[in-house]
Structure 1
């Protein structure tokens, strides 16, 4: 078999990449419009990679579902955005997924976000109505995310769809989430990365802008390219401010890769989406001991709430009686 025959059916990576031209940017704007999405890009001249996401809508949906206070909205939004950025560790567009868990001793308590490689994310905070803390930075008041989260650990669980999921934890370095994710990537994945996440919450509590980026040198990147990339990252305004003023992910890519020629490697539409259902909730009910099921029947029914999306599923007395019959027949 000659070389040409060997490569039949194998996609040419370079042909899949698109140079970030004005025409491409116009096409992306027309296609995605105001929807949340992410852009994975690389540079033509050197081995640099960026994943930039806009997550405004999904963060606000999470706020509405969990009825979060302003600072809880910011924390949850950062966790959801961070989990989506970490899907860069998974196979693109596959069923692989990961869970980001932040266990701090701050008043917000446990923070969890789960995302898959297709761009779906869901999550929750233990105390959604936590008091809002602020701090002053360069004369401006900002949410004190670190105080709300506290000290503790960040854990990432990656499920590749085969075998036991891979789990790794690192201490929280600041509780600001973006810095903690960068520390995780360096210590657990040995990938030096710049991570920025921002969630801008308006006076009414609505998420006005949210997004983030993860940028890193790939193996073989030159010192000169890395230095230029670091310069670009340092002079960039907060990512939420960029999105608020109308900058789109591909335009933020251009800012990150100023001095380089960026090429789009992949696109990903993003959404807050939970995989719960009444059937899934039923599985939890049927696992209850018979004694507990009988008590619920006497009480006239039970409501099961999904932690991840706050959706509620009610099981009536009649439904519980049917579930009890199923359970008894299954035990025999």
Structure 2
């Protein structure tokens, strides 16, 4: 009851701020479209496997599994959901999935409508995704749920005295594929033993990217013979550490790929740099050779 009330309040807050925050507006608009997308694209005669990723990073962790499922079990269709606009807006046209949409807020009504329309045969939740109502509804409907690349820490709500009731959601998971032994031990304290230590699937994705690497002449022109620090999907607190270090070490170059690529944030980054920089969207071979930082 407390969980559902908190969800309703959170959903209301997102709606109220959506006229002023682009990310909130994209989420609200996207969730409104979810049921229309499902009605239009889910075919009742097909079997769907549901993958849920909060954002882009979790998608990359689930991607090797989706692509292997596609290769080895073509009889299944893939439904991919995101919670965050930073995932959906980048990967809404991902060709490896048959249907892509936002996951509506975890309210009882949304859960009933979503599962009635999607009818998944099984579900894969990536890393930190433990939505109470969705997972309990899957258990009642006997839909197997697998937690992939999940990682647990002592300070998470599941292992605190005040999270005892919420930790029941863990018993809705058919099997956990966790990243490390610590996660396995923490789950064992809860009496949960349906666990395999499988590592982080993001490493599989990095290896795939490495094998499929494209030649980037402009990046080569930028790098030349220098040592390069690469910061991917960085947030402002990361940049507050990385940029001063870069400014103080003229022997190295920096490739900075921020998580948020709004114009305001890019200008904020540029204001902190004390050495020549260029944005990749504006780079030429000449400007690349002159720059010390490639954004």
- Answer 1 or 2: higher relative contact order, Cα 8 Å, separation at least 6: 1
Same fold (TM over 0.5): no
Larger Rg over CA atoms:
1
Please report the TM-score for the alignment, with normalisation by the length of structure 1: 0.24
Larger strand proportion, structure 1 or 2?
1
